[in-house]
Amino acid sequence: MTDLAQLGSQPELCVDDETRVAHWPAVFSLAFGVFGLVTAEFLPVSLLTPMAADLGVSNGAVGQAITATAVVAAFAGPLLVLGSGRIDRRSIVWTLMALLAVSSVLSAYASSITTLLFARALLGFALGGFWAMMTALALRLVPSKDVPRAMSIIIMGVSLATVVAAPLGAALGALWGWRATFLAASALGLVSLLVQLMVLPRLPSAGAPRLSAFRTALSRRAVLIGLVTILIVVSGHFAGFTFIRPFLEEVPRLGVSAISMTLLAFGVGGFLGNVVSGKIAARSPAWAVGSVALLIGAATLALVLLGASPTAAAVGTAVWGFAFGGFPVAVSIWNARAAPDLAEAAGALLSSSFQVAIASGAVVGGILVDGMGPTGVIVYSCAAVIVGAAVMLTLGRASERARGTGAPLSSS
């Protein structure tokens, strides 16, 4: 029996795997949906400076637009999983996509930081709910032998968003203004909803996990190691990445077009990192997670030491993107192996840990950027991700060897 096949023991997944039809258009529609959600989540990164000027607040204050999204998402995932009960999962996905569109429209017309934070909280609910259900949805849409491929496709939507969100946001913000850019994000949400209305099959559920499933997942050492690593690495990453535009403006003194190209390099690097890390993680998730975290540390250190050079800043940012692009897929594979029989509960915990890390990183980053400037926050990022890498390369590798999970996902 495969690790992923064991997930069929969940009540809602008790379907004859041999007769289950693979719904690949639906899988791609989920990738498109998460692409829209992540694009909207990180638009403030590339639009931070003009948003702060227009709303009359500091860069650190606007950075909390990401915090608001992440805080709500951290609670939304587990709550949605616990409360979803017998609701058809298709209807839940449709609702989440509608929230993406509504949130983006409200952000576009925000006249104060309070309104903006409320709009971003709505996005957080959609994002947290989608991330929490992502693995279980893949299990419902394809036979178990195709689940790794389906998860890779869905997570690829995240990688594509990292390619598009920052550079396109900066470019469209310069051409149209930040408000019109958020309206474009709402259109993306509506298109995602229309596609999913056409291709998502019915996904009835026999019931959501109980609290006991979360307790069981948290009792597993491998799950805890993964969650701790996520909290450290992702918080460190987003403390710096949230304020990458001010760094590029003040240290290498790049103009808007150069910043757009640098952020595009970050995104392209992230897309490539997703592919490379997925191949490494198929053999050893611990090595994949730990190595990309170390690479983030090396890239941020290069920015601190050599960032005054426009070329060095661009290269360092691209390497940073490559490294972080590989983190979500690597840690998702780690999580799947750590709790293959608790898909929704483990997925909700992973989603919450990501969002708590994003929120805490943005908060710490906002404090540091206002008090120490953009270079200070990059120093913090470097230190945090190296600590996270150490956790996975020591405790994670030991756990991996003990569980004998160095083989590909399709093997027992």
For residue range 265-297, what is the model confidence (pLDDT) as tens digits?
887 888 888 888 877 887 888 999 999 999 999
> 58: domain CATH number?
1.20.1250.20
Q: Given this model, what pLDDT does residue 358 score?
A: 79
Residue 2 has pLDDT above 50, yes or no: no
What is the per-residue pLDDT across 221-273, written as a single tens digit (0 to 9) for each?
A: 999 999 999 999 999 998 998 888 889 998 999 888 888 788 888 878 888 88
In a domain, 58, yes or no: yes
Number of domain units in the chain: 1
329 within some domain? yes
Q: Name the pTM for this structure.
A: 0.74
Residue 14 has pLDDT above 70, yes or no: no
Q: Is residue 97 part of a domain?
A: yes
Q: Could you tell me the pLDDT band of residue 7, with boundaries at 50, 70 and 90? A: very low
Query: Which pLDDT value is given to residue 43?
Result: 83
**Residue 407 pLDDT > 50:** no
pLDDT of 370: 82
Asked if the model's pLDDT at residue 177 lies above 50, the reply is yes
Q: Does residue 365 lie within any of the structural domains?
A: yes
Residue 101 inside a domain? The answer is yes
Residue 168 lies inside a defined structural domain of this protein: yes
pLDDT at position 317 over 60:
yes
Domain residues for the domain of 257 are 21-403
Residue 315 lies in a domain: yes
* Residue 12: pLDDT over 70: no
Q: 97-101, 178-182, 263-267 — which is least confidently predicted? A: 263-267
SS (H, E, C) the chain: CCCHHHHHHCHHHCCCCCCCCCCHHHHHHHHHHHHHHHHHHHHHHHHHHHHHHHHCCCHHHHHHHHHHHHHHHHHHHHHHHHHCCCCCHHHHHHHHHHHHHHHHHHHHCCCCHHHHHHHHHHHHHHHHHHHHHHHHHHHHHCCHHHHHHHHHHHHHHHHHHHHHHHHHHHHHHHHHCHHHHHHHHHHHHHHHHHHHHHHCCCCCCCCCCCHHHHHHHHCCHHHHHHHHHHHHHHHHHHHHHCCHHHHHHHCCCCCHHHHHHHHHHHHHHHHHHHHHHHHHHCCCHHHHHHHHHHHHHHHHHHHHHHCCCHHHHHHHHHHHHHHHHCHHHHHHHHHHHHCCCCHHHHHHHHHHHHHHHHHHHHHHHHHHHHHHCHHHHHHHHHHHHHHHHHHHHHHHHHHHHHHCCCCCCCCC
The answer as to whether 316 is a domain residue is: yes
